[in-house]
Chain A
Amino acid sequence: MAVSAVHLESDAFLVCMNHALSTEKEEVMGLCIGEVDTNRIVHIHSVIILRRSDKRKDRVEISPEQLSAASTEAEISFNFTHRLAEMTGRPVRVVGWYHSHPHITVWPSHVDVRTQAMYQMMDQGFVGLIFSCFIEDKNTKTGRVLYTCFQSVQAQKGSEYERIEIPIHVVPHEAIGKVCLESAVELPRILCQEEQDTYRRIHSLTHLDPITKIHNGSVFTKNLCSQMSAVSGPLLQWLEDRLEQNKQSIVELQKEKERLIQELASL
């Protein structure tokens, strides 16, 4: 086995979870950034939300060539990687991918396993994460969120692949890193760009009459308002709450620091 475990920092986990919970109607995906240590443990300290040009309700995988292109599209160029390395103080590279399973089981499908196997041909240490959400048990009125980590190996019989479990631990990281914050606020920007691209493609059709254009404009307005209401608004609310919480923490921490300084001086 190429990887022994995955350590996912909690602020990176937060970005993944926010992304997965942003929509229950389609699968979303992103890339995991980090490094692999000498004990074959994959450390993920940030993620990048990917924009999909071909959105399908039930599938989210992209080919290795598309993954490479996606890495470029996501600005994982030398300059960005270098800047990221400077910001985090750690070497960085793409070490895995994550995607969501809304309303379906957390286990990877045969397509997911095959996709993961293809990624592993480029990089043996590449890992896959799946976030299953919007699971509801109507009997017990309980909601559920699950997440798993896996890699692929050649099945003993035939040429198919099968999944192997990789232990995953979410490592506490109380303060949210700069890269994770920037990734988190990238989501509404990506959604807006996707919607604008779709609208422009429709609007550029030359044979549309004014009534149809007005209707399409209203659809665009409706969709953008949905994004503002369901994503941008709650995200802005969370940022303001986090700032408020940090301000209170700063006051308390400063008091404690002064108390400790006085205690040290008296010794």
Chain B
Amino acid sequence: MEEYSTTVRLSGFVLGSLMFQHLNTDSDVEGLLVGESVREEKSKITDSQTDHIQFLHTINIQKHITCRRIHSFYNNACEIDEEKIREITSNFNEENVIGWYRQRRNTTQQMTLKEQLVHQNLRRLLPHQELIFILLTPSDTTSSGSTHRLEYTAFIWNGSQYSSVLISIGNLGMLDQQDYWRFSTTCPSLSRCQAVKKHKTKFFSTEDDLREVEKVSNMNDALLDEMKTACEKVEKSERLVEKLQADITELKEAISKQKKKQQQCNTTETSTPNEPKENVLLCAALKALFPNSPSLRTQTLTVQGFPVLEVCCSSEHGIDIPSRLPLVLEYEQGLRKRKTSRDCRSQEKSQVAGTSLRRKRKRNTTDTQDPAEEEEVDNLQDSNSPVF
């Protein structure tokens, strides 16, 4: 008769480390498990059976490899990214990867379909066929939040389905102080015999101190010193990680501030079209052509269409008219000439007016100018508007 038994073991420090990882994360966490698998065969003879064989399989988990985020080594179709697995396990022998784990809050202790698929695909990829999956599910026990619980189970594929395996936490157990003998043996002859006297010196360094006790104490002291050194190195690395994280947070804040500042500047630039820019050349041209009409040099009109005199431009823009606005200069000169000739004509008009009566009498016979045209010319001469 054969009996199969599988046990999963990990130390309290590994379980504590897993809990620590999840407590520092808002979301689910997952990773890989490293360890070794030991098989043992035991024969058990009982009164009823002489061929009872027990196959014991112990899976020891030595450490866990944290994945920075979930779904890091598989995609949504649960296909394993071999490259990623190699990258994660680059410091370890792939044969030592004995499983993977996942921690999810407030859920049941059952593998989801996705987890089953990932597990099957991992089994195909990794050399260790009896891969385990450990599921940890923390939850609140009381509504007040005073009591919290963590449940954990290992799952293993047994050929047809997943079976759960109890996880044994390796610990000190009881150092049974009952093991110490407080009284001497009851045979005085044993203490006095030659064999004990002869070989006693191999065990005792002095009269009373045992060599074995000294050796194991020295070894333990050395181990504690080594642990202290390792602790100091870890402490330094923790401070360095903290500092780098603080620097990164500061840099991100500075970048965010800078980007906001730039955004605000861009918004300020794009908002100026609301205010009309002054056409400086036009203003200078209008001033040159119509120096006595300041109302022409405004860009703001009332609702009724009248210029707002309060915002008329009165500033000298320093425009050199001959070089920048030569056509205006030409026109201005032309305007002056016309004005001069108009003045002359006005004088002649007054003279002509005196003789106009005389001309009127003779209009019917000799005047060839149409009186309407004459009037238009007069009107044109009176107007100040430029003619282009």
Instruction: Decide: A140 near B109, CB < 8 A? Known: A167-B145, A217-B213, A250-B237.
Output: yes
B241 in complex: contacting residue of A5, A106, A240, A253, CB < 8 Å: A253
Complex alpha-carbon distance, A244 and B241, angstroms: 12
Instruction: Decide: A228 near B220, CB < 8 A? Known: A138-B166, A257-B244.
Output: yes
Complex alpha-carbon distance, A57 and B177, angstroms: 12
Q: Is A47 among interface residues, defined by CB-CB distance under 8 A?
A: no
Name A223-267 residues within 8 Å CB distance of B. Answer: 223-228, 230-232, 234-247, 249-250, 253-254, 256-257, 260-261, 263-264, 267
A146 in complex: contacting residue of B12, B147, B191, B240, CB < 8 Å: B147
10 contacts between A and B (CB under 8 A): A14-B19, A17-B15, A18-B16, A25-B172, A142-B166, A145-B15, A211-B196, A217-B210, A238-B13, A260-B255
Complex alpha-carbon distance, A164 and B229, angstroms: 43
Chain A contributes a number of interface residues (CB within 8 A of B) equal to: 109
Complex alpha-carbon distance, A63 and B20, angstroms: 32
Q: How far in angstroms is the closest Cβ of chain A from B74?
A: 21
With A141-B153, A238-B13 known, 20 other A-B pairs at CB within 8 A are A21-B11, A23-B174, A143-B167, A146-B147, A148-B146, A148-B148, A174-B24, A203-B208, A209-B185, A210-B191, A210-B196, A211-B191, A213-B208, A228-B220, A230-B172, A231-B172, A246-B238, A256-B248, A260-B248, A261-B251
Q: What 1/0 flags go to A131-144 for Cβ under 8 Å of B?
A: 00110101011111
Output the nearest chain B residue to A210 by Cβ-Cβ distance.
B200
Contacts of B226 in A (CB 8 A): 236
Q: Is A196 among interface residues, defined by CB-CB distance under 8 A?
A: yes
Name B221-249 residues within 8 Å CB distance of A. Answer: 223-224, 226-228, 230-231, 233-235, 237-242, 244-245, 247-248
A267 in complex: contacting residue of B20, B63, B240, B259, CB < 8 Å: B259
Q: Is B142 among interface residues, defined by CB-CB distance under 8 A?
A: yes
- Check B153 against A246 for contact (C-beta < 8 Å): no
Taking Cβ atoms with an 8 Å cutoff, the residues of B that contact A are 11-17, 19-20, 23-25, 62-63, 66, 91, 109, 141-142, 144-153, 164-167, 169-175, 177, 179-185, 190-191, 196, 200, 203-204, 208, 210, 212-213, 216-217, 219-220, 223-224, 226-228, 230-231, 233-235, 237-242, 244-245, 247-248, 251-252, 254-255, 258-259, 262
Instruction: Decide: A243 near B237, CB < 8 A? Known: A24-B173, A223-B175.
Output: yes
Instruction: Decide: A145 near B238, CB < 8 A? Known: A185-B227, A202-B182, A235-B227.
Output: no
Complex alpha-carbon distance, A11 and B238, angstroms: 12
Complex alpha-carbon distance, A253 and B175, angstroms: 44
Q: Is A216 among interface residues, defined by CB-CB distance under 8 A?
A: yes
- Check A224 against B152 for contact (C-beta < 8 Å): no
Instruction: Decide: A143 near B251, CB < 8 A? Known: A13-B23, A235-B227, A239-B230.
Output: no
Contacts of B228 in A (CB 8 A): 185
Contacts of B248 in A (CB 8 A): 253, 256-257, 260
Q: A-B pairs with the 3 shortest C-beta distances?
A: A21-B12, A25-B174, A165-B146
Complex alpha-carbon distance, A166 and B147, angstroms: 9
- Check B147 against A165 for contact (C-beta < 8 Å): yes
- Check A145 against B149 for contact (C-beta < 8 Å): yes
Output the nearest chain A residue to B188 by Cβ-Cβ distance.
A209
Complex alpha-carbon distance, A148 and B237, angstroms: 32
Q: How far in angstroms is the closest Cβ of chain B from A264?
A: 5
Output the nearest chain B residue to A236 by Cβ-Cβ distance.
B227
- Check B230 against A26 for contact (C-beta < 8 Å): no
Contacts of B247 in A (CB 8 A): 257
Contacts of A244 in B (CB 8 A): 91
Instruction: Decide: A21 near B213, CB < 8 A? Known: A11-B20, A250-B241.
Output: no
Contacts of A111 in B (CB 8 A): none
Contacts of B147 in A (CB 8 A): 106, 146-149, 165
Q: Is A198 among interface residues, defined by CB-CB distance under 8 A?
A: yes
Contacts of B220 in A (CB 8 A): 192, 224, 227-228, 232
Q: How far in angstroms is the closest Cβ of chain A from B66?
A: 7
Output the nearest chain A residue to B178 by Cβ-Cβ distance.
A219
Complex alpha-carbon distance, A22 and B190, angstroms: 40
Q: How far in angstroms is the closest Cβ of chain B from A145?
A: 5
Output the nearest chain B residue to A8 by Cβ-Cβ distance.
B23
Contacts of A238 in B (CB 8 A): 13-14, 17, 63
